[in-house]
Amino acid sequence: MKNFKLLFLVLMSLSALDQSLVGANFYKSTVCNWGPQNTAIWGNGFNLALKLDNISGSGIQTKKQFLFGSIELLIKLVPGNSAGTVTAYYMSATGEKHDETDFEFLGNVSGQPYIIHTNVYTQGVGNREQQFYPWFDPTADFHNYTIHWNPTHIVWFVDGLPIRVFRNYESIGIAYPNKQAMRAYSSIWNADNWATRGGLVKIDWNSAPFVARYKTLKLRACKWAGPSSINKCAANTAANWWTSPLYGRLNFAQMGQMAWVKNNYMIYDYCKDTKRFKGLMPPECLLPQY
Ligand SMILES: *[C@@H]1O[C@H](CO)[C@@H](O)[C@H](O)[C@H]1NC(C)=O
Ligand SMILES: *[C@@H]1O[C@H](CO)[C@@H](O)[C@H](O)[C@H]1NC(C)=O
Ligand SMILES: *[C@@H]1O[C@H](CO)[C@@H](O)[C@H](O)[C@H]1NC(C)=O
């Protein structure tokens, strides 16, 4: 009887341990790469805060590298006067010819809107910015920022709404990020030379420290295990759920959602910036962006 009780207690505590491991994302899956004194992880690894003060910003990166899948993170951005700060959340490979997919959140003075800035680099070349105002206050609560990435397209989701798609047009000579391993990163830094109203508004250090909060990191992605992953992660198998036709193209409802976001909240689109590209628009701009 006594042994039975003991066994029961052991089983109970094991399952409690299991529960905590489910949420142990930031301890288990990330390392700090900048400003360790300004990073905090608590709640069994479930919660993360990154701080920018007048000494340093801070940042983390995933331990593992990935090729295709979904990277999901809930973020509550710096409240109040966040002008001049940028909270970045992105996937990136390394090196000169790297691929990268970005979310960057450009702060603002109290009461003025953040900008959700997006970009994608292939083979080291970016210049594909699109910017949006959020349709909610991103500092009042956590919101879901997800990057979905597979052999046919990359989709940026905000609270489940697709705001942007970058399609694979490799067959007509546009590089696509499908051969390089990427890590997910997040950081907060001083970008007051460009972020808010193009650099006009500087950081007010009296409002420091600036803190971005995070929870629920989910890395449902193909782990990179060397060059063999290029084919393995792209293979159309049941285990590679991201290759399912279901995820190969937005459905009609999602196309409608993206059109709603673009019509109402998009404030910059590189594909419309004829001045910048002097009429020689990037080739994907002449093709469907969904
Ligand atoms: C940085 O901030 C701290 C805390 O607000 C303050 O005491 C210190 O004087 C500041 N240092 C500089 C160089 O501005
Ligand atoms: C976040 O958004 C992604 C993409 O829409 C979705 O798959 C996921 O379930 C969402 N997560 C939460 C916690 O809402
Ligand atoms: C900050 O607010 C100003 C004024 O409303 C706006 O023009 C700007 O786009 C906002 N965002 C940033 C990051 O500059």
pLDDT in tens, 132-185: 999 999 999 999 999 999 999 999 999 999 999 999 999 999 999 999 999 999
Give the containing element (helix H, strand E) for 31: strand 30-34
- Whether 29 contacts 22, CB under 8 Å: no
The backbone region for 216, taken as left when phi is positive above 0, alpha when psi lies in -120 to 50, beta otherwise, is left
Report whether residue 131 contacts ligand 3, using a CB cutoff of 6 Å.
Answer: no
**What CA–CA distance (Å, rounded) separates 181 from 227?**
9
Kindly state the tokens that stand for 31: 């390392």
What pLDDT was estimated at residue 11?
41
* Residues contacting ligand 2 via CB (< 6 Å): 72, 144, 146, 157, 160, 216
pLDDT beyond 60 at 283? yes
| Cβ-Cβ contacts under 8 Å for 56 (sequence gap 6 or more) | 34, 35, 37, 38
Q: How far apart are CA 62 and CA 183, in angstroms?
A: 6
Mean pLDDT over all residues of the chain? 92
pLDDT of residue 177: 98
Which residue, judged by its Cα, is nearest atom 4 of ligand 2?
Answer: 160
Question: Is 250 a member of any domain?
Answer: yes
54, part of any domain: yes
78, 49 in Cβ contact below 8 A? no
Compute, in angstroms, the gap from residue 56 CA to the centroid of ligand 1: 11
Q: Residue 9: is its pLDDT beyond 60? A: no
Query: Would 51 be classed as within a structural domain?
Result: yes
Q: Tell whether ligand 3 has an atom less than 6 A from the beta carbon of residue 85.
A: no
Residue 269 has, within 13 A of its CA and on its CB side, a CA count of 16
Q: What global pTM score does this model have?
A: 0.92
Task: State yes or no: pLDDT of 131 exceeds 50.
Answer: yes
- Number of compact structural domains in the chain: 1
Catalogue the active-site residues: 100, 104
* Contact (CB, 8 A) for 236 and 248: no
Residue 86 CA, distance from chain mean position: 13
Domain that holds residue 95: 13-286
CA 276 to centroid of ligand 3, rounded, Å: 21
Residue 165, domain member (yes or no): yes
Band (6; pLDDT cuts 50, 70, 90)? very low
Ligand lying closest to the C-alpha of residue 143: 2
Atom of ligand 2 nearest to the CA of 161: 5
Closest alpha carbon to 124 in 155, 97, 160:
97
Q: Is residue 7 in some structural domain?
A: no
- For the stretch 226-272, pLDDT in tens is 999 999 999 999 999 999 999 999 999 999 999 999 999 999 999 99
Give the rounded percent of residues in the chain with a pLDDT score beyond 90: 90
**Structure confidence at residue 18 (pLDDT):** 33
pLDDT at residue 8 tops 70: no
Instruction: With a cut of 60, say whether residue 5 has pLDDT above it.
Output: no
Tens digits of per-residue pLDDT, 19-61? 333 334 899 999 999 999 999 999 999 999 999 999 999 999 9
Does residue 156 lie within any of the structural domains? yes
> How close is the Cα of 50 to the center of ligand 3, in Å?
23
**5 domain-assigned:** no
- Read off the CATH number of the domain in which 64 is found: 2.60.120.200
For residue 72, report the distance from its CA to the centre of ligand 2, in Å. Answer: 7
User: Which bound ligand lies closest to the C-alpha atom of 109?
Assistant: 3
pLDDT tens column, 180-212: 999 999 999 999 999 999 999 999 999 999 999
Domain assignment present for residue 4? The answer is no
